[in-house]
Amino acid sequence: MAANGKAQSAHDEYVGRLRAYGLVAAIIIVLAIVSFAVAPSGSGIAGCRSILFGTSQPCVESLAIETLNSTMCAGLHPAYANQCYLAIAQNTSDQELCRRINGSVAAGQCYLYIANSTKDPALCSMVNGSAGSECAYSIAVETNDTSACPGGSGTGAGKECASTIYMNDAVKTGNAALCSEITSSNESNDTYGIIINSSLGKYPGLALNITQILEYGAITNATVGAMGICYTSVAMRTGNESYCNYVQGSALGNACTEYFIRSNQSKSGSFNATALMGYCNQAGANSTTCKYGLETVEAYDSGNLTICKGIPAPYSYNCYYYLAEKYNDSSYCNYIANSTINGACVGDVSGLYNNATGG
């Protein structure tokens, strides 16, 4: 009997515990229901609060952003707070909020957004690494302000940035004097960046595309610099051949002059390279380049592939390249032995490249 009594007592205690747990669970459920039922909707932070679970951080973050109330961000966990400050800063352009963001990378994103939005290059200095320099470069070119170039316009990226602005101004206004302001190392290292970041593609009347410009140097082992490209572009845009004189002695200078020779010849009849070979005697060390350049122009005007075949490589590459573009036929590119230039030729004909200086 004693054993039975103990068993019964244990059973009663177990049942009692179950009832107690059940009662607690029921109370929790009721409180939860009541808390959601009585929590005000759309009434500030109180709308994000429940009796059991305190305040919902995502809810407060959303409310802060919706109302542009940055004060609400302060009490949030850092991850939510960063997102909160960033979103409000993007909507208000309030750079003070960027200072409240934890972590240099996250804060940098905030400054970068506001800098680009407000065109304020000073904020770019708050962005670490190359992103800050690129930010200033972009804004300087967009606002046409050399003083905004990263690190000033005297060194490194600042020189390239300032040269890009001078290039834009020179071609836009037809003021060749601005070309002389291009102080970048003036040559292949910076030329590509200057062309890519300039607005040359917006101006009609230019006879060269970016691939051809860069390849003048590759084909003839000559230096093709941004200043020369600037003078050539202004000459072509304004129709003033005299500007070609500033790039004489280079492959690009000859190309500039050839452009006008071709233009003038087309007005008076068929192009005759032989009759113009005397001009090449003035080209000094570049007389050979000049000669083959004139023959290339003649081949282009007449569409005579045989003339191109009579020009030795690598000078013949331009000849085949021009015919490929003239007839939009990449089969002419097959005559180009240099794989890089061959690929560029096929790419241009296929429309893979934008004409940065094409009119």
Q: Name every residue whose Cβ is closer than 8 Å to that of residue 160 and which is 6 or more positions away in sequence.
A: 137, 184, 190, 193, 194, 197
pLDDT digits (tens, 9 = 90+) for 96-139: 999 999 988 889 999 999 999 999 999 998 988 888 889 999 99
Instruction: Check pLDDT > 60 for residue 1.
Output: no
- Tokens 């003038």 belong to which residue? 264
- Quick one: what percent of the chain has pLDDT higher than 70? 66
Identify which of 140, 143, 142 has the alpha carbon closest to the alpha carbon of residue 161.
Answer: 140
44 vs 78, residue with greater confidence = 78
Q: Is residue 192 within 8 Å of 213, Cβ to Cβ?
A: no
Q: Which pLDDT belongs to residue 205?
A: 62
Q: At residue 180, does pLDDT exceed 60?
A: yes
Given CA atoms 119, 124, 127, 130 in this order, what sign does their dihedral have? positive
Q: Is the pLDDT of residue 35 over 90?
A: no
Beta-bridged to residue 55, according to DSSP, are 49
* DSSP-derived 3-state class of residue 227: helix
The pLDDT tens digits of the residues spanning 304-350 come to: 999 999 999 988 988 898 899 889 999 999 999 988 888 888 887 87
Phi (first) and psi of residue 120, to 5 degrees: -105, 100
Position 291 confidence tier, pLDDT thresholds 50, 70, 90: confident
According to the model, what pLDDT value does residue 267 have?
Answer: 58
Q: Where are the domains of the chain?
A: 150-349
User: Is the torsion defined by CA of 192, 193, 194, 196 positive or negative?
Assistant: positive
Distances (CA, A) of 74 to 71, 79, 84, 155, 328: 6, 11, 9, 42, 62
pLDDT tens across 42-72, in order? 456 777 875 455 678 888 899 989 999 999 9
- Residue 30, Cβ density class (10 Å: 0-12 exposed, 13-18 middle, ≥19 buried): exposed
Output the CA torsion 201→179→206→242 (10° steps): 170
Q: Which of 285, 279, 274 is nearest to 256 (CA)?
A: 279
Read off the pLDDT band of 27 (50, 70, 90): very low
pLDDT for res 209: 56
Contact 184, 159 (CB under 8 A): yes
The pLDDT of residue 86 is above 80 = yes
pLDDT at 166: 93
Question: Structure pTM?
Answer: 0.59
Q: Which of 4-18, 105-119, 239-253, 264-278 has the highest mean pLDDT?
A: 105-119
> Helix axis angle, 251-268 relative to 287-302, nearest 10°?
40
> Looking at residue 215, what is its pLDDT?
58
